[in-house]
Amino acid sequence: MSKIDHLGIAVRSIDEALKFYRDQLGLDVHSRETVETEKVHAAMLPIGESRIELLEASDPDSVIAKFIEKRGEGLHHIAMTVPDLPAAIEKLKASGARILNEPRTGAGGHLYSFIHPSSTGGVLLELIQA
């Protein structure tokens, strides 16, 4: 692992969340996009060498919509970069970790995979190709 890339925060509305993160904290919005494969709208806000990713459901059937329905808004995942994502996933699989998806392209064009919270001590972990 080389660094924490971002913290993913599930929100009902990115525009409403920006009233705090942008307007009150003074963070800049680096990018906004829709990730069709995950059914989310995402906004990236740099903070130091890391970022905050605000995630809003673009479909009521999305993982983020279900997360908010079950747990409310809040921390959804922690994302860390790795130099070789396929190798990291293979190593985790070999050790018995539960991988939620094979590497695929997500926000910002980055290759990523999620590791189930049952393998990480209760936290959804996203690994991103550095």
Per-residue pLDDT at 1: 67
pTM of the model: 0.92
The structure tokens 């293979």 sit at 90
Contacts of 23 (CB under 8 A, 6+ apart): none
**Structural domains of the chain, ranges and CATH numbers in brackets:** 3-129 (3.10.180.10)
Per-residue pLDDT at 130: 86
In which residue ranges of the chain is pLDDT below 50? none
Q: Return d(Cα 4, Cα 11) in angstroms, integer.
A: 20
Q: Return d(Cα 92, Cα 7) in angstroms, integer.
A: 21
Contacts of 104 (CB under 8 A, 6+ apart): 37, 111, 112, 113
